[in-house]
Structure 1
Amino acid sequence: MRFSFSILALVIFLTGSLSARDFTVMVYNVENLFDVDGVALYGDYRQGDEGEYGEGPLLNKLEGIRIALAALNNGDGPEIILFQEFELDRTPYDTPSAEAFLKETKGQDLAAILDQRSNLPSELLLLKYLDDHGMGPYHIGQPDPVKSESHPPHKNVVFSKFPLNFVRQRDSYNARDLVIAGIDVDGHELIVLNNHWKSGASNARTEPIRVQNARVVRAELEAILLRNPSADVIIAGDFNCYYNHSAVFQDLEETAVNDVLGANGHEVRMVQQGSKNLYNLWFESDPAERGSEVWRGYWGTLMQMVITPGLYDNRGIQYLDNSFDRLAIPGENVDTRWGRPISWSNYGGGAGFSDHLPIYARFRSIPGEGSDGFVELDNPSDEPLSANRPKMDFARMNRMAVPRVGVLVAMSPEERVREVGELFQVDAELVSNRPARIRIGDLELEVYSPIRDLRDQINSMQPGDRLRCFADLDVFRGRLQVVVRDPSWIYRD
């Protein structure tokens, strides 16, 4: 009987070890996760007077990240996360390894740890917070701050529940170091290239810098594919350009993502023998749903995930067809009215998530040696590039349900920051112009519009003139402001 039980247990073990495993890869620009060592390139993140960045905002920031991660895998979080905008540590001395730090601090509260050790880097702070909430443990892949040639404010970081075979970095001109990590998934190597290219997607003058950033990535990818043409590779991150950049900006001679990297919408080519195609997973989504952030009333696709043909064969790691999506949680990381990302703000003790939505996709490890052939595709994309950019319909609203901006007066700063992104009715006299400001009770608010004609119209008003409009609440450089985002928001008498 005991012998039979042992044989049965062995069969179950072997069957489980040879079964396919599904896992999630997320890409998430968290918008400025800084530590609290008091040394930061951004003034907003240097500790100082009460109300500025410190332990309280940090813990709120970590909780927001945890909420986003916990939305996947039934609260367990993604197995692999490619993060952007962690602070590049300015005090990288005597930093313990991830494993040693978790072992050393097990059972200790993070707030209490911060009281004693304020020099811990951002990645260890998040690692500990997630571990305390039952998420992980994660291995960490990141650039060495000593080896970083340009020392940018931020770094790209990889969190993985699977072991890391290697981590290396490549300097990228006027951008954050490219981080390349080899991840051991059930004996198969998945290679991820974590990017954050030069900012300014809407500025054609910055595209040549992104072209240089893409050349670094392309060279690294070519070296990987030279060694193994069927390598399973994910190129992802904040590219600071659109998935269809060459169609949106047709006057550009060369674009980073479409011309240099070569990412496109031809999924049908991914299952052709010997293919060198690179497929951008935004083409998995309905064109109207493509967007990870909003800029001046239009959705952008700065967050991107591009994959190689190796992820379509029946060996190693395989992409699960049509599993790509953006993560939007109404009332948490997006507003409930239009579904826009709720940005992070240090105001009022810190609240919000990020100005970028995370994106994610599902993958599978194939047992053993796998087999010949490719995955069977369901409605594969063969979409050419077009200038598609979904527009926000800011005119769509129930005007009768919009509260007056005066309700903010009785609120504390902690309460006001939770109203960021919400719409209000404004009916107040200007106390100044250029920039325009209104005062309601003891609360002074700057008035702004991302639309130049509206901005000029508002700024041309004189102190004492009455402004009647709809506007949503925002924070700019630590100050509250109301933002008029559509011509229909101005009252017409």
Structure 2
Amino acid sequence: MKRALLLALFLATLLTGAEVKIATYNVENLFDLTYSGHEYEEYIPNSSWQWNSDTYRKKLKNIARVIADIKPDIIALQEIESLQALKDLKAQIQREGHYFPYYAIATAKETTVKVALLSKHPLQTQELRVTASYQYRNIIEAKVQLGSEKLYIFVNHWKSKSGPESMRITSAKALKQRLNTLGDVNYVLLGDFNSDYIENVTFSKKRKLNNTDGITGINHILKTTAHNEAVTYDDLKGCTNCAFNLWYELPKKQRWSHKYRGRGEGLDSIIIAPKLADGKGLEYVRGSFQKFDAPYLFKKDAINRWERSRKYPKHHTGRGYSDHLPIYAEFSY
């Protein structure tokens, strides 16, 4: 009886295929408790800021709760300090009931925070170097076998808007060059691009940022716009050198994962290749893109971010999650 049931489940999988949920989450500064000299002041272990075993444990537990509630098969992470911090988070997620056997982190460059990846599927990874400068974080390139096809995943965390658009274009060009080398493959670009999905519209009048004559990394270099119009899902079927930003799957008012001065911004994105919409094999599941916005991630109208007391002496309170919301999408194979 048991063998017959297993056979039936196997045949059902063959007939209906399988799905993989891929997410991305900027966890807002997950630092470990080992002093390396690269920490931000407020994350120096056991200092007056009270970044200690107690607050570290609470941060791990809070972020693990979010990830376990999403239940992703693969999740890209930003702002992880070290391999130790990633392993500690992985262990805490397992305590929450969600297990990732495979992991990677961009450690080739000693930037203060790094991008990382947790996965239920085996990973083949390498780091894509943007430049030698420590102002630019390396990008993780991961190859995942899903059924009979390969999926390339690129985990990004581009320069913040403390720098002009030319710095984000530098990261975009390094990524686009690698995509051009790969050719017509299944790829997903995701992470914190520090660029709104309509950055070409929102930043054009900001002189501090616009040092590129209106050209943006996320829109013009990654080709999520064509002739200054957003690429649509249907456009993917007629182009090879374009990409679709999944924010357009949601109503306009919901297209944000971060707030700056009360205004929502879609700084985190999941961008897909034309091949993931060709109706063959590995495919994006239309309508599956979502922002994870559980009530506990909010305080009134604000994101319930990791909290640091403004009262002297300033310190971590042990409450809150991150200043970003996670996003995710599903793919069938």
Q: Decide: shared fold, TM above 0.5.
A: yes
- Report the equivalent of 2:171: 213
The answer as to 2:215 corresponding to 1:261 is: no
Written as runs of structure 1 = structure 2, the 5 A alignment for 1:440-455 is none
* Residue number among 265, 289, 312 corresponding to 2:277 in the alignment: 312
- Report the equivalent of 1:199: 160
SS of residue matched to 2:59: helix
In structure 2, the CA distance between the partners of 1:353 and 1:321, relative to structure 1 (3 Å rule), is same
* Residue number among 176, 181, 198 corresponding to 1:223 in the alignment: 181
Larger Rg: 1
SS of residue matched to 2:28: strand
For 1:162 and 1:197, locate their aligned partners in 2 and report how far apart those are by CA, in whole Å: 26
Structure 1 vs Structure 2 CA RMSD: 2.1
Structure 1, unaligned runs of 5 or more: 90-120, 366-493
Using the TM superposition, give the Cα deviation of residue 235 of structure 1 relative to its aligned residue in structure 2, in angstroms.
Answer: 0.5
- Report the equivalent of 2:104: 141
Q: Is the 8 A contact 2:222 2:242 kept in 1?
A: no
For 1:51 and 1:199, locate their aligned partners in 2 and report how far apart those are by CA, in whole Å: 24
In structure 2, the CA distance between the partners of 1:284 and 1:48, relative to structure 1 (3 Å rule), is same
Q: Is the 8 A contact 1:189 1:316 kept in 2?
A: no
For 2:324 and 2:261, locate their aligned partners in 1 and report how far apart those are by CA, in whole Å: 14
Using the TM superposition, give the Cα deviation of residue 32 of structure 1 relative to its aligned residue in structure 2, in angstroms.
Answer: 0.4
Higher RCO (CA 8 Å, separation ≥ 6 residues): 2
- Report the equivalent of 1:59: 57
For 2:46 and 2:52, locate their aligned partners in 1 and report how far apart those are by CA, in whole Å: 8
In structure 2, the CA distance between the partners of 1:362 and 1:13, relative to structure 1 (3 Å rule), is closer
TM-score (normalised: structure 2):
0.87
For 2:10 and 2:254, locate their aligned partners in 1 and report how far apart those are by CA, in whole Å: 42
Using the TM superposition, give the Cα deviation of residue 322 of structure 1 relative to its aligned residue in structure 2, in angstroms.
Answer: 1.5
SS of residue matched to 2:271: strand
Using the TM superposition, give the Cα deviation of residue 8 of structure 1 relative to its aligned residue in structure 2, in angstroms.
Answer: 7.3
For 2:46 and 2:10, locate their aligned partners in 1 and report how far apart those are by CA, in whole Å: 56
Amino acid at match of 2:45: Q
Using the TM superposition, give the Cα deviation of residue 69 of structure 1 relative to its aligned residue in structure 2, in angstroms.
Answer: 1.6
For 1:71 and 1:7, locate their aligned partners in 2 and report how far apart those are by CA, in whole Å: 33
Deviation digits for residues 399-427 of structure 1 (CA, Å, limit 9, x no counterpart): xxxxxxxxxxxxxxxxxxxxxxxxxxxxx
SS of residue matched to 1:209: helix
The answer as to 2:209 corresponding to 1:250 is: no
Amino acid at match of 2:99: G
For 2:59 and 2:326, locate their aligned partners in 1 and report how far apart those are by CA, in whole Å: 15
Q: Is the 8 A contact 1:196 1:240 kept in 2?
A: yes
Deviation digits for residues 254-300 of structure 1 (CA, Å, limit 9, x no counterpart): 2111111111332211123x533200111111111111111122111
Deviation digits for residues 217-264 of structure 1 (CA, Å, limit 9, x no counterpart): 101111122xxx1x2110111111111111123354121111111113
Q: Is the 8 A contact 2:65 2:96 kept in 1?
A: no
The answer as to 2:141 corresponding to 1:177 is: no
For 1:8 and 1:300, locate their aligned partners in 2 and report how far apart those are by CA, in whole Å: 48
SS of residue matched to 2:328: strand
The answer as to 2:297 corresponding to 1:333 is: yes
Deviation digits for residues 336-366 of structure 1 (CA, Å, limit 9, x no counterpart): x22x21111354542111111111111111x
For 1:142 and 1:27, locate their aligned partners in 2 and report how far apart those are by CA, in whole Å: 14
For 1:86 and 1:263, locate their aligned partners in 2 and report how far apart those are by CA, in whole Å: 28
Using the TM superposition, give the Cα deviation of residue 17 of structure 1 relative to its aligned residue in structure 2, in angstroms.
Answer: 4.4
The answer as to 2:133 corresponding to 1:167 is: no
Q: Is the 8 A contact 2:67 2:93 kept in 1?
A: no
For 1:195 and 1:260, locate their aligned partners in 2 and report how far apart those are by CA, in whole Å: 15
Deviation digits for residues 168-222 of structure 1 (CA, Å, limit 9, x no counterpart): 112224221111000122342111000000101xx6x611111111001101111
Using the TM superposition, give the Cα deviation of residue 315 of structure 1 relative to its aligned residue in structure 2, in angstroms.
Answer: 2.9
The answer as to 2:252 corresponding to 1:287 is: yes
Q: Is the 8 A contact 1:328 1:357 kept in 2?
A: yes
Q: Is the 8 A contact 1:344 1:355 kept in 2?
A: yes
SS of residue matched to 1:134: coil
Q: Is the 8 A contact 1:243 1:280 kept in 2?
A: yes
Identity of aligned residues (%): 27
- Report the equivalent of 2:332: 364
Q: Is the 8 A contact 2:306 2:321 kept in 1?
A: yes
- Report the equivalent of 2:262: 297
For 2:105 and 2:165, locate their aligned partners in 1 and report how far apart those are by CA, in whole Å: 26
Q: Is the 8 A contact 2:79 2:115 kept in 1?
A: yes
Amino acid at match of 1:137: F
- Report the equivalent of 2:17: 20
- Report the equivalent of 1:125: 88
Using the TM superposition, give the Cα deviation of residue 156 of structure 1 relative to its aligned residue in structure 2, in angstroms.
Answer: 0.6
The answer as to 2:44 corresponding to 1:80 is: no
Deviation digits for residues 27-56 of structure 1 (CA, Å, limit 9, x no counterpart): 100000111112242121112246610111
Number of aligned residue pairs? 311
Deviation digits for residues 127-173 of structure 1 (CA, Å, limit 9, x no counterpart): 11112222113310222x3x32xx21111101110111x10112224
For 2:41 and 2:3, locate their aligned partners in 1 and report how far apart those are by CA, in whole Å: 63
TM-score (normalised: structure 1):
0.60
- Report the equivalent of 1:401: none
- Report the equivalent of 1:42: 40
In structure 2, the CA distance between the partners of 1:43 and 1:221, relative to structure 1 (3 Å rule), is same
SS of residue matched to 2:58: helix
In structure 2, the CA distance between the partners of 1:8 and 1:333, relative to structure 1 (3 Å rule), is closer
For 2:129 and 2:152, locate their aligned partners in 1 and report how far apart those are by CA, in whole Å: 18
